[in-house]
Structure 1
């Protein structure tokens, strides 16, 4: 299976433009033979455009995800609709299974090749450290996986990378690949390199960490999206410009590595 990470240039508050750039990236990746395309965190509004969250929030059945579902159908590819600011009440009104909480969530939506919504992952660990995320959003609870091609795919989001127990939960659910939509800014370049690679090594699975690029009032996204194999080897990566990052990700390779180096069997619970 060929995975593509769409490292998009994200313009603060330019929802229409950001969505069109996302759709163009899906089309380009599909033309290049991708089976699955992943987008960055809050790619439509822009992660650091906090003042626009409430105004721009929408259902996971709303216009942004619907546009990406159309792209998935048109090109016959799976799409991880990075994440959006979800209005939980609007999602419920659209018949989407949502947590009982009200307010807003940071939601990633997995769409299959026919554009059907297969899973919604709502970010568990909300960033503090001067960010408004903890004040504006409600954390998720569910940890879904999706069968796609020969992989069992899990999703986490950005700051989740710092909490390894979440990835163990995905391993226990059978995950062979984890996609990580992110909005990782300068100056924490070394952290961005370290955490996705470490999660791949310690869980013996593929990790696709997809970041955006672009400048906001007080932050700049650092790009450097990358795909790591179950040994932690970098299969493909980008710099700090808009790019597609692609690699073949073979689920049989996960089984081989876990057989050759069965560290997961030595876990003490």
Structure 2
């Protein structure tokens, strides 16, 4: 199911319906280069709308506040983990009683005090997962930094830690965008118990087939839910292709969007992963 208008404020969390299965929401918001306040306002509105639609978790795109391709703004717009962007998303999670994956920001590692960092200084592409009480449950700093026609690998420090977190009935793992091309990372998350993988991204045209194929492949080979959350919008040198999608443990697409702003919603069955793995036990046949 896709709601093509996620940006305006929706009903309050108190108006949201009750559903039999958890609903995941992917907030494919419009990202304007360097417009931090406007972009975060859109993110907060999407959180509100997702909660009103009955979602138990909502995920935002990669570098949704500054814009992935705004490389010249990374240093100026970087924030500590305790900065305004994550603070506002943490508060929105608690206010609307919904878990929030705050896609990612450019984190100033030297200025961060509250969480462990991989370096004493530098910048990182950092995502944070807050539960429905606004409590921090997971931090993921992008492991694989993009170098092809991109300044990311020159400007940022790669992450080193892999974490999972229990959110409702799911064990959630997080990777970011270019990480999709490195299947061994996903095996580590599966071995750590993950059955729902969230992938905030800033995937541009023209690589549509790569986006679809890699996302679907990670679901098929790991027999888990994979949700890929992309942004919408244009930069000087690239245009985001959108197409945020949710895949089930067979790799079947449950919901997806085009390239315009949208709220993608899909009901996810917490028992489905175990059932698929029992029916077709490919993971049990691995030779390590």
- Interval of TM-score (by shorter of Structure 1 and Structure 2): over 0.9
**Partner residue of 1:84 out of 87, 92, 105:** 105
Q: What are the Cα deviations for residues 166-217 of structure 1, in whole angstroms up to 9, with x where unaligned?
A: 0000010000010000000000000011111000000000000000010000
Hey, what's the Cα distance between the residues in 2 that align with 1:69 and 1:226? Answer: 24
* Cα deviations by residue, 1:45-91 (Å, 9 ceiling, x for unpaired): 00000000001001122100000111101100000000000001111
Count of aligned residue pairs for this structure pair? 267
RMSD: 0.7
Per-residue CA shift, 1:123-166, capped at 9, x if unaligned?
A: 00000112000000000000100001000000000000000000
Task: Identify unmatched segments of 5+ residues in structure 2.
Answer: 1-21
Tell me how far apart the structure 2 counterparts of residues 130 and 149 of structure 1 sit (CA, whole Å): 39
CA distance in 1, matches of 2:182, 2:66: 26
Residues 198 and 227, structure 2, Cα contact 8 Å, conserved in 1: yes
Residue 83 of structure 2, aligned match among 62, 66, 71: 62
CA distance in 1, matches of 2:252, 2:115: 38
Q: Which residue of 2 aligns with 1:211?
A: 230
2:40 corresponds to 1:19: yes
| Counterpart pick for 2:123 among 76, 98, 104 | 104
Matches within 5 A, 1:224-239: 224-239=243-258
- In the alignment, the residues of structure 2 paired with residue 134 and residue 238 of structure 1 have an alpha-carbon distance, to the nearest angstrom, of 29
1:158 & 1:13 partners in 2: Cα distance? 20
- Describe the SS at the equivalent of 2:276: helix
Task: State the Cα distance separating 1:95 from its structure 2 match.
Answer: 2.5
Q: TM-score, length-normalised on structure 1? A: 0.98
With the length of structure 2 as denominator, give the TM-score of the two structures.
0.92
Deviation for aligned residue 1:118: 1.1
Q: Which runs of 4+ in 1 moved over 6 A?
A: none
Q: 2:96 aligns with which of 75, 78, 95?
A: 75
**Are 2:74 and 1:50 equivalent residues in the alignment?**
no
Tell me, yes or no, if structure 1 residue 132 matches structure 2 residue 151.
Answer: yes
How far off its partner does 1:100 sit? 3.1
1:221 aligned partner: 240
**1:101: Cα distance to partner?**
4.3
* Residue number among 207, 211, 215 corresponding to 1:192 in the alignment: 211
**Residue number among 26, 30, 33 corresponding to 2:54 in the alignment:** 33
Is 2:179 the partner of 1:160?
Answer: yes
Which ranges of structure 1 fall in alignment gaps of 5 or more residues?
Answer: none
CA contact (8 A) 2:27 2:58 kept: yes
